[in-house]
Amino acid sequence: MIRKALKKTSKSEKLKAIIKKSKIPAEFLATNRKMTSRGVLIGIFIAFVPMPMQMAAVLLFMPLLRFNVPIALAMCWLSNPLTMPPMYYMEYLTGAYLLGSEVAPVEMTLEWFSENIDNIFIPLYLGTSIYSVFGSLIAYWGVNHFWRKSVHHAKKKHRHHR
């Protein structure tokens, strides 16, 4: 279903005109399985990292890897102002648990964070590394799996109608 929607969008004449006008390399907009799954991988990896300007970090990967950039940018928005606090708290709790350190009661104020950054930095980024790596790999596998399943189902349906 998503595969068909992406194919339909990529054939849009208005979109092609915008792309041509802004001189965006077509390889960063490809909607095939590999480019889409790589975009999901990079976007979700960056989404789990607590840092400012996540979208700029996605763009820094452009010279190194080929992936669907709009999908990667959309995936990094999974960590938005509503989801960031629970995501980062979960990462902090996971890191503190794995390190065996005591969990400090968290207050959602800038003053608390500036006073306690030394205590939460290592547990937070340990948890971040675990969720970033495993979350993005699971999403990558999921996109590949469901894309292939969708193609297989479409071929089977096409054969059946013949």
pLDDT band for position 107 (50/70/90)? confident
Residues 94, 95, 101, 104, CA torsion sign: negative
Q: What is the mean pLDDT of residues 115-141?
A: 92
pLDDT band for position 12 (50/70/90)? low
Q: What is the pTM of this model?
A: 0.79
Q: Is the pLDDT of residue 15 over 70?
A: no
What Å distances lie between residue 158 and 152, 154, 161, 162, CA to CA? 10, 6, 5, 7
Residue 66 pLDDT: 86
The residue count for the chain: 162
Closest CA to 68 of 106, 40, 98, 110: 40
Query: CA 27, CA 67: separation in Å to the nearest integer?
Result: 8
Q: What are phi and psi of 36, to 5 degrees?
A: -70, -45
36-85 pLDDT per residue, tens: 999 999 999 999 999 888 889 998 888 888 888 889 999 998 888 888 88
Closest CA to 66 of 30, 23, 28: 28
Percent of the chain whose pLDDT exceeds 90: 32
Residue 41 pLDDT: 95
Query: CA 96, CA 127: separation in Å to the nearest integer?
Result: 8
pLDDT band for position 8 (50/70/90)? low
Residue 49 pLDDT: 92
